[in-house]
Amino acid sequence: MVRGRVMEIRDDGMGRARGDHEFAQLPQPGDRLVLGNDDGDLEMMRVIRIKHVPIRVPHSKLEGSEPLAMVYVEWEAEWNEKV
């Protein structure tokens, strides 16, 4: 699993942290993610870019709590809407 921090980029260019998530593999630009919001609803987000610089590190470093990637997304729709 790869831990990634998801950051929503809003229309005004400001970022909003959407939390750390674990992925079986990193999503690619254009992929869609379904994330919960503060109201308990689900929202569909589209991946716009990934920041991930793979480097060789000792195994013990991989067990830390810091994400190994940044996943930038933009809001697309409420999950229960027809897309």
For 16-49, write each residue's pLDDT tens digit: 999 999 999 989 999 999 998 888 889 999 999 9
Mean pLDDT score across all residues of the chain: 84
The reply to whether 71 falls in a domain is yes
Q: What pLDDT is recorded for position 64?
A: 62
Q: What is the mean pLDDT of residues 57-73?
A: 73
The reply to whether 41 falls in a domain is yes
The parent domain of residue 62 ranges over 2-78
Counted domains in the chain: 1
The reply to whether 83 falls in a domain is no
Q: What is the mean pLDDT of residues 69-74?
A: 93
Q: What is the mean pLDDT of residues 47-68?
A: 73
List helix spans (H) across the chain.
Answer: 59-62
Residue appearing with tokens 């400001």: 14
pTM for the model stands at 0.76
Of 33, 39, 38, nearest to 76 by C-alpha is 33
- In the structure, what pLDDT confidence band is assigned to residue 60 with cuts at 50, 70 and 90? low
